Structure 1
Amino acid sequence: MWRGVLYCLALCGGLLGGLAAHADAAAARMVIIIDDVGNNFALGKAAIELPGKVTYAVLPGLAYSERLARMAHEQGKEVMLHMPMANQGQLALGPMGLERDMTAEQLRATLSQALANVPFVAGINNHTGSFLTENANAMQVVMNYLREHDLYFIDSLTSPDSVAFETARALGVPALRRHVFLDHEQTDDFIMGQFSQALGILERGTEVIVIGHPYPETIAFLNWMLPLLPEAGIEVVSPSQLLP
């Protein structure tokens, strides 16, 4: 742990200082989304208790999905539906997933069922989805449904060939795209390195979207890092605050 802390002080500290020096030039805004909330109550609760406007993407149909969504909402946090979508590896999607062979009617019905299961949803992002997000016809069905229900979409970009973001924008659905995955390796050094990439994006622009998961390592890192961001001129905001 201490090796990781020292690494981040050296790596992230320099970037935070650089951002602080430019804080007056343009407001730097960061969205932090915690995916995969729903099947572990203790870790979900710990993630929800992170300081600031962290956003929570809740999987439908799991043991604690509804309870954790309500808890996040009660604490003033934004809630998203983390919608399982068909992937190239044909991995199991869990409850209420959008499968590759579904008709338009089945896609819409499954979306409706999932949204009924997770309360207070402001928008959705894809859980896996490397197959479905490449399918223009399926994405048109999904985005038309979201437009009808005043929901936004965030493309998790699990595939570089995703057409989800472009389809959403073309159909008038407010949409954003993920920049950095924080923790597909759960080590201090890796998480800190990924976070430094997010800070580097803010050095070149004013907005960045980061996705993490309710892992103990991620929660510990964010509990340490989040209080440091305001001094660097970085505001953590919900996706709704970045939408065009």
Structure 2
Amino acid sequence: RAHAAGHEVMLHMPMEPFDGRQADARALPVGSPAETVRRRLDAALAALPRATGVNNHQGSRYTADAASIDTFMRALAAQPRPYFFVDSRTTAATRAYRSALDHGIAAAERHVFIDAQRGRSAVRAGWQRWLAHARRTGNAVAIVHPYPESLALLEAELPRLRALGFELVPPSALLDEPRRLSVRATSTTGRQAR
């Protein structure tokens, strides 16, 4: 239904958090073999065929582990069609955004969790942080959960964004493209080729 309504669909891929007691049962564990990662990613994407992007669900431990997140990004880059990646930034130590770009995947980072704290006043404060970040930098990627107080705020505030001078865009509009490397070689005659 989201795709039919013109919205981007993203796979919210469970990954291992630092606090194992909070872990989603489907979370990719740190150190998973490449074949396991590929198989689980393939299955998740097959279950959500309209997805165009991926972000991490939890994943503070997984995204901070260079070898694990690189294994994941290799599997994502090897998909038969391109996907973008949004780093949920569930830890300041995350390497996911950089790893995505290094593997040729367009990527973005979350700037604000609107409802990092529950409750109406906390969610409203998160909303204001999101708008302030967008004013200051020109754009802001936010994550919000389907909590009742979050949904009520979105229902009330989203229709007012344009009047406040903001444009709501899909995540793909705020992606950083991977850097394309240029190689310069010098021949024995001293001429340069690009």
TM surpasses 0.5: yes
Matched residue type, 1:93: D
Larger Rg: 2
1:191 aligns with 2:107: no
1:93 aligns with 2:20: no
Partners of 1:163 and 1:218 in 2: CA distance:
28
Match of 1:166 among 98, 104, 110: 98
Matched residue type, 2:91: S
Q: By how many angstroms is 1:203 displaced?
A: 2.1
Q: By how many angstroms is 1:243 displaced?
A: 1.8
Partners of 1:196 and 1:242 in 2: CA distance:
20
Partner of 1:135: 65
Partner of 1:47: none
1:228 aligns with 2:164: no
Query: Contact 2:34 / 2:75 at 8 angstroms: preserved in 1?
Result: no
Q: Classify the secondary structure of the residue corresponding to 2:167.
A: strand
Partners of 1:137 and 1:100 in 2: CA distance:
9
Partners of 2:51 and 2:109 in 1: CA distance:
18
Matched residue type, 1:158: T
- What is the CA deviation profile of residues 217-243 of structure 1, one whole-angstrom value per residue up to 9, with x for unaligned ones? 111101110111101221111111222
Q: Which runs of 5+ in 1 are unaligned?
A: 1-70
Partner of 1:25: none
Partner of 2:42: 112
Q: By how many angstroms is 1:104 displaced?
A: 1.1
What TM-score do you get using the length of structure 1 for normalisation? 0.68
Partners of 2:17 and 2:125 in 1: CA distance:
27
Partners of 1:141 and 1:238 in 2: CA distance:
27
Partners of 2:69 and 2:103 in 1: CA distance:
10
Matches within 5 A, 1:34-73: 71-73=1-3
Q: Which runs of 5+ in 2 are unaligned?
A: 177-194
Match of 2:113 among 139, 164, 181: 181
Query: Contact 2:31 / 2:68 at 8 angstroms: preserved in 1?
Result: no
Higher helix proportion: 1
The higher relative CO (CA closer than 8 Å, separation ≥ 6) is in: 1
Partners of 1:119 and 1:203 in 2: CA distance:
35
Matches within 5 A, 1:17-28: none
- What is the CA deviation profile of residues 81-138 of structure 1, one whole-angstrom value per residue up to 9, with x for unaligned ones? 000001111133233x312242111111111111111220111111110111011111
Q: Classify the secondary structure of the residue corresponding to 1:154.
A: strand
Q: CA RMSD in A?
A: 1.2
Partners of 1:130 and 1:186 in 2: CA distance:
20
Matched residue type, 2:173: Q
Q: How many percent identity over aligned positions?
A: 37
